[in-house]
Structure 1
Amino acid sequence: MVNKVTVIGSGNWGSVVARIVGVNCAEKASQFERQVNMWVFEENIKVDDTEYKLTEYINTHHENVKYLPGFKLPDNVGFEVTEKELVIISDVVRDTLGITCGALMGANLANEIALGQFAEATIATTVEWQGRAFQQLFNRPSFRCAYVSDVTAVEVCGALKNVVAVGAGFVDALGMGNNTKCAIIRLGLMEMMAFAEEFYGCTNRNVFFESCGIADLITTCYGGRHTRLGKLFVETGKSFEELEKEHLNGQKLQGHQTAEKVYKMLFAKGETAVKKYPLFVAIYKVSTKEIAAQDLFQCLADHPEHM
């Protein structure tokens, strides 16, 4: 069976994905159709004083000059969170479209992958043959994917690591070194695993030691936009919304919003639940300016992991 591939989204990661799958689809004609369509959020951009529609520029120049400038796309490419809880996006797609949906996550800073630097990722789907097909679609010599079946755990990792990364940014703003940041990462991982099990029934902790878990957490805390803007949040006193507009060129932040949803879920469950996740709670309270960034250290000192 020959599969058709479409990329929905044209941010920096969507563009990197298009580069990877575009090459594989061209090379593996027995498995995938050569043409890869890319759905783009239409925007007007200006290049060298000339105004273009983003889709027009991508289709004529084969470059997403706004979100992934300097990297050519293959010529065969053309172009949720609720009020109360964290939503698993694959569930939303499955329930809305009536199809099986998996996830791909990992230690994947888009620009590094675009440069061809080696990286790993985790593919999750409950249907094994789909997982193997996705490995064929995404695997390149410098980009290797492992397959797991626990889609929920992989997605929960992707959401919660952004909360921890915001906390890592707070630590950077306070001038702390690698010892402190590593403490944030370790304690954050422990709370991620506990939260995933308590609220989503994710009991297989091995998933958290795949690229989607500890590796993604580390790279986000050291090189991701959530850490960078968490640092600026403390240093400048500006809101995350202001910083997003000033520094992200159309990209979005999820960490502070996820922290709010996590806190509401814990609060709804009661005081005992709140006390079990002091790092998540402290990051939320710093992000809402309920407490000062310096108060994060009291959370680290009194964490249940140290009792």
Structure 2
Amino acid sequence: MPLEKVCIIGSGNWGSAVAKLIGINTQRHGDLFEKTVRQWVFEEKVNGENLTDIINREHENVKYLEGIKLPENVVAIPNVVDACKDATLVVFVVPHQFVRGVCEQMKGHLAPNARAISLIKGLEITSSGTRLFSEEIERILSIPCAALSGANIANEVALEKYCESTVGCPNVEDGQIFFRLFDTEYFRINVIQDHVGVQLCGALKNVVAVGAGFSDGLGYGSNTKAAIIRRGLMEMRKFGQMFFGDMVQTETFFESCGVADLITTCSGGRNRKVAEAFVTTGKPIDVLEKELLNGQKLQGTLTSMEVNEFLTARNMTAEFPFFTTVYRIVYKNAPVESIVRDI
């Protein structure tokens, strides 16, 4: 069988940590993967030098994952078409607002038998409906797309601290290929077929983390934070059941992509961090994003706005008091104390 040609689309904090995993595994499973891994890196200047040149010389993404060496078989490429040319396995790790534009550039350049996997923790939600990013990738590129999500803070994964993650892939055979692409002794993969639930958890948990950050900023303590996490998990599950029906399995919420990722994100993720600073500094969210995230994007606040737009169009905001309260605090100047008073 021809070897799989792997391409990574994205090179931020998480994309760089994933590149380390994939670079190691393509060498370890030489019977399945080509050794060279091409990674599309959005070109930036770092101290007057192209970031791609630094990565290819130093084997380190000095901007987004400083101090972590990448395998030498990971090659940074600044042009997305060059990076994805004839790839058979495409790993998407870009902020969700860039998915459509990047896929449009890639169209027609992949191998005929290409498959993709989305590591994007988001969900396109508008007043007219919802769309998974795997569906957007499938629609534009006409290829099947699985999903990976879990309790995976990028820096800890890069430092090889033990964790788990969940691959959702309807095709069992492809699921086993993705298992071998990602699974290591410290990054353990469980493959399930519920790719919808995997992505739904990855999107909605960011909204819950914003609420947890509000609680931390107010100094409310562990009991309150636990209550907020529980309420958030219940609304995540309710949203899945109400709007996706049998496509989302209850068991998925007990995978790493579900409750484990929720706990991790509410303890140490960027959404919690910025939400806490929102309370303690009084600064707007967009200002804090620029100050605290080193160019990364905040997902939870945007998702809360999209969820509210979706629910408002259906006159269902009262059915989801937690999600609605997070939105009102961020965008409608509701008192931060509403996070416990109004849910």
TM-score range, shorter chain: over 0.9
Indicate the residue corresponding to 2:215 in structure 1. 171
Aligned mates of 2:125, 2:150 — CA distance in 1: 24
Q: Tell me the TM-score normalised to structure 1 length.
A: 0.93
Indicate the residue corresponding to 1:282 in structure 2. 325
Change (3 A) 1:110 1:203: closer
Q: How many residues get paired?
A: 294
Q: Residue 67 of structure 2: which of 65, 70, 76 is its match?
A: 70
Aligned mates of 1:262, 1:96 — CA distance in 2: 24
Is this contact kept in 2: 1:86–1:258, CA < 8 A?
A: no
Indicate the residue corresponding to 2:262 in structure 1. 217
Is this contact kept in 2: 1:86–1:262, CA < 8 A?
A: no
Offset, 1:290? 3.2
Residue 57 of structure 2 is aligned to residue 60 of structure 1: yes
Matched residue SS, 1:63: coil
Aligned mates of 1:60, 1:82 — CA distance in 2: 41
Offset, 1:199? 1.7
For 1:29, give the aligned amino acid: G
Is this contact kept in 1: 2:125–2:310, CA < 8 A?
A: no
Query: 1:199-238 to 2 correspondence within 5 Å?
Result: 199-201=243-245, 202-238=247-283
Is this contact kept in 1: 2:254–2:260, CA < 8 A?
A: yes
Indicate the residue corresponding to 1:304 in structure 2. none
Aligned mates of 1:188, 1:159 — CA distance in 2: 12
Q: Which sits farther off after the overlay, 219-228 or 196-205?
A: 196-205
Per-residue CA distance 1:15-35 (angstroms, 9 max, x = gap): 111100101101111010000
Offset, 1:150? 1.2
Residue 306 of structure 2 is aligned to residue 261 of structure 1: yes
Unaligned residue ranges in structure 1 (runs of 5+):
301-307
Unaligned residue ranges in structure 2 (runs of 5+):
77-95, 97-123
Matched residue SS, 1:293: coil
Aligned mates of 2:230, 2:274 — CA distance in 1: 21
Aligned mates of 2:332, 2:214 — CA distance in 1: 12
Is this contact kept in 1: 2:206–2:299, CA < 8 A?
A: yes
Query: 1:86-125 to 2 correspondence within 5 Å?
Result: 86-125=130-169
Is this contact kept in 1: 2:126–2:309, CA < 8 A?
A: no
Offset, 1:66? 0.4
Q: Tell me the TM-score normalised to structure 2 length.
A: 0.84
| Aligned residues: CA RMSD | 1.1
Offset, 1:200? 2.2
Residue 337 of structure 2 is aligned to residue 294 of structure 1: yes
Per-residue CA distance 1:28-82 (angstroms, 9 max, x = gap): 1101000000000110012xxxx21110100111000000000000000011436
Q: Residue 126 of structure 1: which of 170, 185, 192 is its match?
A: 170
Indicate the residue corresponding to 1:303 in structure 2. none
Matched residue SS, 2:46: strand
Aligned mates of 2:326, 2:17 — CA distance in 1: 31
Is this contact kept in 2: 1:86–1:261, CA < 8 A?
A: no
Offset, 1:205? 0.6
Indicate the residue corresponding to 1:158 in structure 2. 202
Indicate the residue corresponding to 1:184 in structure 2. 228
Change (3 A) 1:133 1:250: same
